Amino acid sequence: MVLRVIFIFSFLFLFSCGVEDAEEQWSASAIENGEKLYTIHCTRCHGATGDLGASGSKNLQISTLNTDAIQKIIREGKGAMPSYVKTLNSEEKLSWLSEYVISLRN
């Protein structure tokens, strides 16, 4: 009986991982992946072009932060901006996103 329960739970666990992978289809291009993450997590304050300024957010088009500083803010949050350490929890995602944020500059 115990084994059976363990078996069912591990099956459910594997199955849920499979679903998650299917939802996250990443392309070969870092910029495209970054845009996808940006659209999901960042547009509500920064806007599609980075200059919306909702909730007192900074204009990303005129930002001068480097990659490390951008990733630090995404991880830790700042002021009204929340921390994304739980949702964007891989170096890869942070790197795609910071590359995309920099590409918003004119």
For 56, residues 6+ apart whose C-beta sits below 8 A from its C-beta are 79, 80
Contacting residue, 33, 35, 36, 84, with ligand HEC by CB under 6 A = 84
Contacting residue, 6, 11, 44, 89, with ligand HEC by CB under 6 A = 44
DSSP per residue, 1-44: -HHHHHHHHHHHHHHHHHHHHHH----S-HHHHHHHHHHHHTHH
Q: Which is nearer to ligand HEC, 16 or 78 (CB)?
A: 78
Q: Is 86 helix (H, G, I), strand (E, B) or coil?
A: coil
**Does 45 help bind ligand HEC (rule: CB under 6 A)?**
yes
> Which residues of this protein are in contact with ligand HEC, per CB under 6 A?
41-42, 44-46, 55-58, 60, 63, 65, 70, 73-74, 78-82, 84, 97, 101
